[in-house]
Amino acid sequence: MKSACLQTSYFPQDHTREHIAEALQDVLSSWKLNPEKLVAVTIDNGANVVKAVQLNKWLRMQCFGHRLHLAIRHQLITESATRWGSGLVMIERVLVQERALAKVLSADKKTRPLVFIWQDIEVLEAIQKALKPLQDFTDALSGEDYVTLSYVRPVLHLFNNRLMASEEGDSELCKSIKTKVVDYLNNKYADPTTSDLLDIASLLDPRFRAKYISCDKMDALKRRVILETQSLLHDQDECMRELNDPTEQEGAAVAVPPDPKRKKSLASFFKEKARWHWWQTHTERDNRT
């Protein structure tokens, strides 16, 4: 997948939602881009930017990695608000160095009250156990050089049914953290328009297809995909006719950028599940024979 910066603009006005909405419209106009073909806009959660997108009546697709980070911070105040995953790393280091920290803090009467008691350690262990499975997802689901949208529906399914499901031995606090993190993420992607876009992206991904989509929605989704594909092909034909018109061609050569370095694939998170499903299927088949 390719990404490009189309425009960096001088913006001296107050960053109100109206000014931002107008500036975004100006960018599309200057590049002769049709707003009706804009599928979605991915932005941060700044209130003025969110309102600007709403004023333009564009679909806002929230970054899943950012949302996952916020879901974790919703239950935990981290040491670094901008470095995702730093809170979990901090907790893990405290648990490893618990005895050393207790020894240092006990040496001074001013810091002696800061020594962790057993209830503190229980809380830290519950947080660490609940959030550990999410450690790799915040970065992996925040990429711009590879497709991540089609993974959101499968990842939500993975969180709900395996990674964040309550296990035997979980404390009540651990169960509560898992439930609240999953509920937070589910609610953020529950909007029907957003949900349909996630389903379509997953449906068009040959790795997932309809595996994580409700059967009740399949017929409507397939009809929508067919109509949008036909519209896209029609637009491509129009574009090719314009390109083949000698009066529209330009002599300037287009530089081809080098291939970007490949990042860690999100597919690695699903390999273990796929291997287990294959083993289970073949074991049941052997038992029947």
**Per residue in 131-158, pLDDT tens?**
888 877 766 676 666 778 888 899 999 9
**Per residue in 27-76, pLDDT tens?**
999 998 988 888 889 887 778 888 999 999 998 887 777 777 676 665 44
Is the model more confident about 218 or about 237?
218
Q: Tell me the helices (H) and strands (E) count for the chain, helix number first.
A: 12, 0
When mean pLDDT is compared across 30-39, 83-92, 279-288, the lowest value belongs to 279-288
Per-residue pLDDT at 201 exceeds 50: yes
Confidence of residue 254 (pLDDT cuts 50, 70, 90): low
Is the model more confident about 213 or about 83?
213
What are the structural domain ranges in the chain? Answer: 1-60, 69-140+151-187, 191-234
Q: What is the mean pLDDT of the chain?
A: 80
Per-residue pLDDT at 78 exceeds 50: no
Rounded distance, CA 253 to CA 87, Å? 49
Check: CB of residue 178 under 8 Å from CB of residue 130: yes
Q: CA-based Rg of the chain, rounded to a whole angstrom?
A: 25
Which residues make Cβ contacts (< 8 Å) with residue 258, sequence separation at least 6?
none
Rounded distance, CA 116 to CA 102, Å? 7
pLDDT score for 249: 53
Check: CB of residue 41 under 8 Å from CB of residue 53: yes
Q: Residue 253: what residue type?
A: A
Which range of 4-13, 81-90, 247-256, 272-281 scores highest in mean pLDDT? It is 4-13
pLDDT score for 82: 47
Per-residue pLDDT at 77 exceeds 50: no
Q: Which residue has the tokens 């997108």?
A: 53
Rounded distance, CA 82 to CA 226, Å? 41
Kindly compute the dihedral angle of the four CA atoms of residues 205, 207, 212, 218, in this order, to the nearest 10 degrees.
50
* Lookup: tokens for 212: 């994580």
Per-residue pLDDT at 260 exceeds 60: no
Which residues make Cβ contacts (< 8 Å) with residue 25, sequence separation at least 6?
35, 56
**Per residue in 111-129, pLDDT tens?**
889 898 989 999 999 988 8
